Structure formats: C-alpha cells, structure tokens
Amino acid sequence: MKINFSKYNGAGNDFIVIDDRGNKINNNSSLIEQLCNRNFGIGGDGLILIKESKSTDFEILHYTSDGNLGSLCGNGSRCGVLFAYKNKIIDKKTIFDAFDGIHKAEIVDDDLVKMEMKINSDIIENEYGIWVDTGSPHLVIEKDNADKLDVNLLGSSIRYNDYYKEEGVNVNFVEKITNESFKIRTYERGVESETLACGTGSTASAICMNYLGKSDSKNITMKCRGGDLKVEFNSKDDLFTNISITGPAKLVFEGQINL
C-alpha cells in the first residue's frame, strides 16, 4: 500500500504528516518508529496523523519517534494545522481535537501559525526544578550557560531517574536574556534526545519564568535552537489564561512511501 505523506518542521522540530481520515494507517509502533528513523525511513521527531472528528474540524494524533502514542505536541499540532490548511481541510481559523482536548488555531500567514494552549495541572516546585503540564509534562530548570550544556546527558539523567522514570518528563533548560526573551533547550521524552524546538516546553517555560518572577511580561519570546516561539498569556494571582503560542511552520517536502 502506498501512502502520501508530507514532511513539515516547526522551528526545526520536524514531523511526518499524513491525512489519515480514511483510517488507512495501522497504528503499529514498529512501523511508526521505522517511518521516523532518520537512516532507514523518512525521518522525523514524530508522526502527525490527521483524523476525522465528529465535534471539530479534525483530530490530531501525535506519535513520538519511538513509535508510541504521544501527548500534546505544540509544534507538531501547528504543523498539522498548516497541513490541513494547505490541503483545503480547513480555512485560516480552525478548532481541532488533540490529546488534552479541544484547541483553537489560526494561520497568521503561510509560514506562521498561532495555537491556543492550556495548563492541565498545578505548577509545582521540587528539588529538580519547576514542573507543569501544558499538554505534556515539563520540568523547567534555570541555567546561566544554556549554549554550553550537554542537554542529552543532563536531560536523560533526569528523565530516567527514579522520580521521573515511570511517567517520563520533558526537561527544559532556560536562560534569561531579557525580560521578554529566554533561551531554551529541551530534552524530549519519546524522542529521547534534544530537539531543535518544543512548543509545549516553550509554553511551560515562559509561564514558569513569569510565575517565578523572572519576567513580568505576558508576551515572551522563547529562543529555541531552530527558531523563535512567542508565548502570550494573561495572568492574575498565579492563574494563567488565554495562553497561545505563535511560531513558524513550513512544508519541507512531499512524497509517497510504500508500506
């Protein structure tokens, strides 16, 4: 069986995107892992499937590159929204289903997508850093030397420690540049490596920096290695609402693969 696919990236976080409204893809973890393999497959940080939805315009299923069903992926979802727009599934504004419920999104221009985000937990400070679930679980750690960190070594040592090993956690290392901007590097579970950007991680980190008093801005640019992501929100008494993330999404290439 031959399947059409598209390769997208959101600030360097790259994904295979497939229109699976006809349910042709068998959600087989070994197949998905093979598709995401950078040596023997198409290659990507994950796979995004566009599915039918009875209540919204479409549903996004996100699989990590290890072949497992993942939680919300901000950059992957933004890529999925742009795919849906380019393939005339939606207009410039849309509502879609994802891992943590319904999200709104809009095409700002052909290479810029804005997406509504959520906080799905309390913000918790612990011995490792500050933890929050923004559709995926994130640990945020402040650092003064983000560019020099061995993110794979440090991130994996936390992700696989006794405290986080069972559930897993994404680990974000954040360095303040100005009141409105921070550098960020992220170790992602499921990919089990550093990625060039992370949407849910950038959202979590921007909110945590405001929560900790490191910034009083409600419009924060997170400078990922693959590009900038802008996080906006309202906050009052440590309650964060109207959260959104805006950043680049781009079609890299299209192709067909024989499954």
Predicted confidence (pLDDT) per residue in 70-96, tens digit = 999 999 999 999 999 999 999 999 999
pLDDT tens figures, 152-208: 999 999 999 999 999 999 999 999 999 999 999 999 999 999 999 999 999 999 999
CATH 3.30.70.260 assigned to domain 2-112+249-258? The reply is no
Max intra-chain CA distance, the chain = 55
| pLDDT range class, residue 24, cuts 50, 70, 90 | confident
Domain at 124-248, CATH homologous superfamily: Diaminopimelate Epimerase; Chain A, domain 1 (3.10.310.10)
Give the residue numbers marked as catalytic.
Answer: 73, 198
Domain boundaries, the chain: 2-112+249-258, 124-248
